[in-house]
């Protein structure tokens, strides 16, 4: 077997083009504009860059981007309340809570509060379990 070098940038561009085509088809055929909610708690510089890029790519693909930037001192209860509102929002089809969270928050509790159907990262315990057992899931 011969090794093959993969051009990551070219591959990523192909994926972005496919996603944009699927989004356009959803809009044309069903009147649905997918929405991604990204939640950032705190001021971690690397997380800020990731969230900014994710928002830009979401818009470039023709989707709606909902960014929620919260201060580091936000309570876990307030974050969980936001996640519940996003779960119930029909305009939001996917939720990404940027990790790491501040030390006073239980990341597992926050991730598992996300509806498995809207869990973009696939970190919800149900999605991890389905993936681990080879069952069909969104992951």
Q: What is the model's pLDDT at position 122? A: 85
In a domain, 2, yes or no: no
Check pLDDT > 70 for residue 18: yes
- Is the separation of the CB atoms in 41 and 74 below 8 Å? yes
Concerning whether 57 is annotated as a catalytic residue, the answer is: no
Between 126 and 42, residue with greater pLDDT = 42
Q: What angle do CA 44, 53, 28 make, to 5 degrees?
A: 140
In a domain, 1, yes or no: no
In a domain, 57, yes or no: yes
Domain extent for 108: 8-132
Q: What is the model's pLDDT at position 32? A: 96
Among the options 7, 18, 54, 108, which is catalytic?
A: 54
- Is the separation of the CB atoms in 68 and 39 below 8 Å? yes
**Distance (Å, rounded) from C-alpha 40 to C-alpha 51?**
7
Q: What is the model's pLDDT at position 105? A: 98
Q: What angle do CA 109, 114, 115 make, to 5 degrees?
A: 135
Q: What is the mean pLDDT of residues 25-34?
A: 97
pLDDT in tens, 54-95: 999 999 999 999 999 999 999 999 999 999 999 999 999 999
In a domain, 21, yes or no: yes
Q: What average pLDDT does the structure give for the chain?
A: 93
Check pLDDT > 80 for residue 131: no
Residue 12, domain CATH: 3.40.50.10860
Concerning whether 121 is annotated as a catalytic residue, the answer is: yes
In a domain, 3, yes or no: no
In a domain, 137, yes or no: no
In a domain, 78, yes or no: yes
Among the options 9, 121, 135, 136, which is catalytic?
A: 121
In a domain, 39, yes or no: yes
Please identify which residue in the block is written with the tokens 């969270």. 101
Q: What is the model's pLDDT at position 82? A: 99
Concerning whether 98 is annotated as a catalytic residue, the answer is: yes
- Is the separation of the CB atoms in 96 and 69 below 8 Å? no
Q: What is the total count of domains within the chain? A: 1
Q: Is 60 left (phi over 0), alpha (psi -120 to 50) or beta?
A: alpha
Kindly list the distances between the CA atom of residue 69 and the CA atoms of 15, 72, 119, 125, in Å, as whole numbers in the listed order. 27, 9, 18, 25
Q: What is the pTM of this model?
A: 0.88
Among the options 89, 98, 108, 119, which is catalytic?
A: 98
């Amino acid at each position: 077997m011969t090794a093959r070098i993969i051009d990551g940038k070219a591959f990523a561009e192909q994926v972005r083009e496919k996603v944009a085509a699927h989004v356009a088809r959803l809009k044309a055929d069903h009147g649905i504009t997918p929405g991604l909610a990204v939640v950032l708690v705190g001021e971690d510089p690397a997380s800020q860059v990731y969230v900014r890029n994710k928002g830009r790519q979401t818009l470039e693909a023709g989707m709606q981007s909902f960014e929620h930037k919260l201060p580091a001192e936000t309570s876990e209860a307030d974050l969980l309340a936001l996640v519940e509102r996003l779960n119930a929002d029909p305009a939001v089809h996917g939720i990404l809570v940027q990790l790491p969270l501040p030390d006073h928050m239980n990341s597992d509790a926050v991730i598992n509060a996300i509806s498995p159907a809207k869990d973009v990262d696939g970190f919800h315990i149900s999605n991890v379990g389905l993936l681990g057992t080879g069952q069909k899931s969104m992951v």
